[in-house]
Structures are given as C-alpha cells and as structure tokens.
Amino acid sequence: MINARSTRSSSARVVSGALVIAAALCSQSPATAHAQPQKRLTARLPGASARPVVHLISWKAGQITCDNGAIFSPDVIPTRIPDATSNVPEQLPRVIFSFTLGSEGRALGITASDIAGGRRYGSDLSPALAAARFDPQAGEAACAVTFSQTATPYDEAPLDDLMMQVIHSRRRAVPRDAWQNIVPGDCFANRKRPLEIHTPDYRKLPKRPGANHWVFVSYDIDAEGKPINLETAGSTGNAAIETASRRAVAASRWIDEDPRTGCWRYDWTAADVITAPKAPPAWQFGEQPEQCEADDRWSKTPVLNYPKAYQRRGIEGWAVLRYDVASWGEIGNVETLAAQPASEFGSYAEGVLTSARYATIEGGLTGCIETVIFKLPQIGAETDGADQ
C-alpha cells in the first residue's frame, strides 16, 4: 500500500502493505489583503470597441438523473465551478459524468463518460461531484449529470464566481475592474501602505466538507488610517468567518494620509475532509509474487503528489493497480483495477507508481498488485496541535 504525501512532505511509508499518499492540508487559506491582480494581455473581439473583453469561464451542473427515477437539483453540488479566463471563448464544451449512488448518499465511481466540444474540461468537476451529498438510495442507482461551460464578461461576473476563481485557480488573476464593479472607490488609485495588518485565526474557524467558506469585506479608510464603514459584501453565510474577518479589518491600520473609499479584503478557510470509502484488500484482485511486497523493493521511491483539485476540496481516495516489473526495475503495463470515489484517482495513482523504480530483480515480476491511498489529515486534529 502506498501512502501518498504532498511534495511538502514526501516520504513514503508502508502501512498494511499499501502505499499511502498523505497530503499536508492547510487549515487556513487566507488571501493577502488588497492582493493586486497581475496585468493581463487581452485580444480585441472582432468588430468590437477599443476596450478588450475578458471572460470568466466557469461550469454549471444540470439536473441530476438516476435510473431508479430519482432526480436531484444541481444545488446539491457545492458552489459553482471556475475554470479559466478567456478573451474570446472559442468553444463552450459540455461533459457528462456517470456515477453510482447508494445508501450513503454520495457519488462513487465517478467517470467522465461523454465529452463534447473538445477533450479539455474543468479539473474541479469530478471533485465537486465527489463533495455532493444526495438522499440515500434503497439500492444502487446509476446516475448522470451534464456540466455545461459558461462564459461571463468579468465586469458582469457575480462575486461568488470571482471568489471561486480566487480560491480554486490561484494562479489566475482577477482583473481589478471586476472588483471595482463590486466595491467602487479610490482605495487603490495610489495604494496605501499598511502599518499593521491583522488576520483571523483560521485554525479556530469552522470548515465544511468538500467546499470552502469565504467572506469578502469592504471598508473605507479615514484620515487617521483607521478602517471605517465596514460591510460584508458577500460570503458563504458562515457567521464565524464573517465576524473574524471584520474584526481583523477593524484592528488593522494604515499610514495617515488622505481618506480612501472602496477598500476590500477576502478570507477563506480550507474545506473539511471527506474520507474515502474503505479500500478492498489487495488479495481480492488475485495472487501476486511475494517479491512484489518486499519492504526493500524500491531503488527509487515513488514521487508522492496529492492531486491539488481534490486536496482543495478535502476529498480522499484510493486506487488498486496491477503492473509488471522488468528485470532492470522499470515498472510497466500498469492497469487500474478499481478506484474510488472517482476514476481520476486511478490516473493519479498510475503516475505515482510509474515514477518509482524497483531494485534489479532477475527475471522481473508479473502481476504485482498495489493499493495507493490518498490521505488527508483531519482538520480538527491539526488545529488542536497548533493551539498547544
């Protein structure tokens, strides 16, 4: 069994014959106050005015249907799903996911079953579906949902979508004009230098499984550098993070100068962990050579990377793989036998396994079986340890 860790902590340990990848999930994911989005080059739309139009690309789920007659609203999938920015959306593809529902009321065996408009689709779709919670079913039901891509000009995008892009697509900048439409003012005309910036104690704030809590606070600054007129411009509705963020803003101070209006900051907390279904024992998939499980089998240990999209939503998973080993130690013929809660964990596990190399072994090996477990720390335990 392979215990997978994030690159921040990349040592492997064998636990009950499986390799486990345990990511170091942060209990806080604050955005820097007054983060300045990077400049973005944009192309002009054909025949359009001189001002370029930049779009926020996101995904929206349709109605969820099952073969037992059950129908679910898209609202069961937590938050809208950001993808990317585009100057001129050339294609607005769709993707259909199939999955199984049972007595636990969660989507399992999630697989992209039909893709139209190109092979590329949002990396957060499968994790968002894995985070959804449905009414428990009396027996297993085969279900499907279609995600459609949408394109919205940034100056028309709602705050919820902008915040989701900040949280899920942290390398992509949100244009300043988009924030300016939500909180107009002159705060960033000439950026004020802070004297003292406070942040909430994120470790003590509540989390929710599979999705982030966030809050967007607007305020002005008076001539003495003190925040005034604090308002919650938008949030996920969690009172604790709203209160903590407003208190942090109120306690911050800026260098005395001309008053400013239209300032803002945002804070968010990491998603709480959703544990994976129990992985079956490897012996259920057949016999394997004894040398496949030797403690000293690795000459090059696996590269233990936790998939970021699932880590951000706190989704755990596993995959069972079958593979061969050449006499010189190279791993090949890798096949995913089972994976939960999504088939993507099989793809990630294959990457983990093929990054490794066995010690030289005469004649090689055929039919080795490995369980790769993607494990996240429990937020509560991490918080208690940090409070000591």
Range list for CATH 3.30.2420.10 in the chain: 2-25+274-380, 183-269
Domain boundaries 2-25+274-380, CATH class: alpha beta
Nearest to 57 by CA among 144, 169, 140: 169
C-alpha to C-alpha distance for 58 and 152, rounded to whole angstroms: 8
C-alpha to C-alpha distance for 368 and 327, rounded to whole angstroms: 14
55-168 CATH fold: 3.30.1150
Nearest to 249 by CA among 215, 279, 275, 272: 215
Give, as one character, the DSSP assignment of residue 187.
T
Radius of gyration of the chain from Cα atoms?
Answer: 24
Per-residue model confidence (pLDDT) at position 248: 95
Q: For the domain covering 183-269, report its CATH number.
A: 3.30.2420.10
Residue 82's φ and ψ, nearest 5 degrees, are: -80, 155
Look-up of token digits 């004297």: 195
Q: What is the pTM for the complete model shown?
A: 0.81
Give 10-residue mean pLDDT values along the chain (388 residues). Answer: 54 52 46 36 40 79 95 90 71 86 94 68 87 92 92 86 81 75 83 83 90 93 93 93 95 85 91 93 91 91 89 94 95 96 95 94 94 79 25
Per-residue model confidence (pLDDT) at position 94: 85
Token pair listed for 154: 């940034």
Per-residue model confidence (pLDDT) at position 268: 92
CA dihedral 317, 322, 325, 329 (to 10 degrees): 0
The number of helices, as runs of H, and strands, as runs of E, in the chain is 7, 20
Per-residue model confidence (pLDDT) at position 252: 93
Per-residue model confidence (pLDDT) at position 8: 40
Rounded to the nearest 5 percent, the helix, strand and coil shares of the chain are: 20, 35, 45
Contact 369, 15 (CB under 8 A): no
Per-residue model confidence (pLDDT) at position 317: 97
Other beta carbons less than 10 A from residue 346's beta carbon:
23
